[in-house]
Amino acid sequence: MVWKILRGAKKKKVPLSTSEIIRRGVLSHEILEWAKGKRLTIFNPPFWGIHHVYIDKELCHALICIKEDQTAYVFLGNSAGASSWVSYDPLQKPVEETYISEDKLQWSIFDDYVIYRGSILPATRDPYHWGKVIECQVFKEKITPVWIGEQIRELIREFSC
C-alpha cells in the first residue's frame, strides 16, 4: 500500500493487449477493406492530440496533425506506416519534405483504436502509443498534394470555430 502512495496514481493501461492486437491482426484483410474510403478522427497520443487519418480507395494514407500555431505535419504512407512526412507553414505552404524508412513510423488501424510505433515517436514505457477513434466518416477524395493543402485549410477552419 505504501509503495502505491509513494509511486503516485495508478498507471493507465494500454487499451489493447498484445494478444488482442495479434488476434485482430489475423483479420487484417477485413480491416483493410473496411478502412478504404475512411476519414478517422483520432484522440491521442498526447503529442498529436486530435488528428485525422485519411485513407483513400487505393489505400494511400495521410495522417494530418494541425498545431495550435496553424502549422501542420502530414505523414504519408500506406496501411503499414509512413514513408514520408511534410511540414506546412501557417499559410499551408510546404516547408520541408522528408522521406523516412518504414520502421520510423508504423501504424495499425482498427475501427476503435490506432496503434503507433516507431523511432520518431517519443519514448514510452508502454509497448506502443495509441489513439482512440472518436469519429469515422466516408472519404471519397484521392490524396494528392493539392488536396492536402485544401484539407489543412479546412481543418484549421473547423478548429477555429
Q: Residue 7: inside a domain, yes or no? A: no
Domain range for 102 is 13-160
Which regions in the chain score pLDDT beneath 70?
A: 1-12, 161
Cis status of the peptide bond prior to 90, with omega within 30 of 0: no
Distance CA 34, CA 160 (A): 31
Q: What's the pTM value of the predicted model, to 2 decimals? A: 0.88
Q: How many domains is the chain built from?
A: 1
Residue 126 gets the label, from left (phi > 0), alpha (psi -120 to 50) or beta, of: beta
CB 46 within 8 A of CB 65: no
Cα–Cα distance for residue pair 133/140, rounded to 1 Å: 19
Does any domain span residue 3?
no
User: Is residue 38, in this structure, part of any structural domain at all?
Assistant: yes
Q: Is residue 104 part of a domain?
A: yes
User: Domain for residue 2, yes or no?
Assistant: no
The pLDDT, as a whole number, for residue 99 is 96
Does the residue 5 lie in any domain?
A: no
pLDDT in the model for residue 15:
86
Q: Is residue 1 part of a domain?
A: no
Report yes or no on 113 lying in a domain. Answer: yes
What local confidence, expressed as pLDDT, does residue 2 receive?
47
pLDDT in tens, 11-42: 567 888 888 888 888 778 899 999 999 999 99
